[in-house]
Amino acid sequence: MSINEILKYNVFKYKDFQLSIDELLLFVIVLLAARLMVFFLDKVLLKRYFKQRNIDKGRQFATSRLIKYFIYIVGLLTALQIVGLNITLLLAGSAALLVGVGLGLQQTFNDLVSGLILLFEGSVEVGDIVEVDGKVGIVRKIGIRTSQIETKEKIDVVVPNSKITVNSVINWSHSTHLTRFSLPVSVAYGSDPEKVRSILLSVAKDCQDVKRYPPTIVRFLEFGDSALHFDIFFASDDILGIENIKSNMRFMIEKRFREHGITIPFPQLDLHVKSLKNASLSSD
């Protein structure tokens, strides 16, 4: 038996479909070629391109994944065409299955598409400080389906990408100016408002984490039911540690209020009882 006859030998036969040894070899060669192409692009060309353009890790991951999937799909379809399978009939036959699977995995596909939008649009990037559902944290990873956010408490939260693209998300890192924060303070009636403002400004000045510019502002908000309400507006670039900064400022405010005889009030309710003149008459 010659080599040509060996290569033409059918190793598999089902109705009108026949698979010879040479077709099987070509099938394997095409898949190996696709694998080598993916390896070369990922380790050589794309790596050099990403380094030159200084592209963040999230976009690197998305670009390499999409190219990898594209090459594998083209390679697989080419290999199937080589062995004699009708790709058109195969795709038509699987259309109904794909529709059923798509309906069942609708949310998953939504997360996948949202992940691609995040990775290519750049509205949220790895290292950004964001606020999602009232939680502030730093983005550690953006994947195809989910993203990983590390909160101020050092807790890793896995967030579906669709929640980031659909819901309102505050990206603190995209602001070109220092962020202003507010700290409400109340004092008892009878306190000198000018002295209160002077103390609050001195506290902000002595706090190392409060920036000098833009300058700190103290506002007299309103006359409350049992207190005078003020608000300190100050700037800081430590977004993740802002609660610790506010806590330190509260310690300083309480100490200086005590030193200057300024009282921090608590809710009070005055009850006035009026006697009824005709109470005795009506009882008689």
Give 152 or 94, the one with higher predicted confidence: 152
Segments in the chain forming alpha helices (H): 3-7, 21-40, 46-53, 57-82, 87-104, 106-121, 161-166, 193-206, 242-259, 279-283
- Domains of the chain plus CATH, in order, are 9-104 (1.10.287), 121-174 (2.30.30.60), 179-259 (3.30.70.100)
Q: Which residue(s) pair with 139 in the sheet?
A: 149
d(CA 134, CA 193): 33
Of 187 and 266, more confident: 187
Angle at 195 between CA 183 and CA 257, to 5 degrees: 60
Q: State percent of the chain over pLDDT 70.
A: 77
Given pLDDT bands bounded at 50, 70 and 90, which one contains residue 258? very high
Output the pLDDT for position 246: 93
What's the pLDDT score for residue 202? 94
Give the amino acid at 61. Answer: F
Highest mean pLDDT among 12-26, 27-41, 73-87: 27-41
Average pLDDT, whole number, for the chain?
Answer: 80
98 confidence band (pLDDT: 50, 70, 90): low
Residues 6+ apart with CB under 8 A from 126: 56, 57, 58, 139, 140, 141, 142
191 pLDDT band, cuts 50/70/90, is: very high
Q: Kindly tell me if the per-residue pLDDT of 171 is higher than 60.
A: yes
Give residue-wise pLDDT tens across range 131-157.
888 888 888 888 778 888 988 888 888
Please give the pLDDT value at position 122.
Answer: 73
Would you say 164 and 255 are in contact if contact means Cβ atoms under 8 Å apart? no
Tell me what pLDDT residue 189 has.
92
Residue 129 to residue 198: CA distance in whole angstroms: 33
In this structure, are residues 265 and 190 in contact, taking their beta carbons and an 8 Å threshold?
Answer: no
Dihedral of CA 45/48/53/54: which sign?
A: positive
**Could you report the per-residue pLDDT of 215-238, keeping only the tens digit for each?**
999 999 999 888 999 999 999 888
The segment with the largest mean pLDDT, out of 18-22, 43-47, 248-252, is 248-252
Looking up tokens 């800081």 gives 236
Residue 172, token pair as written in the block: 């603190």
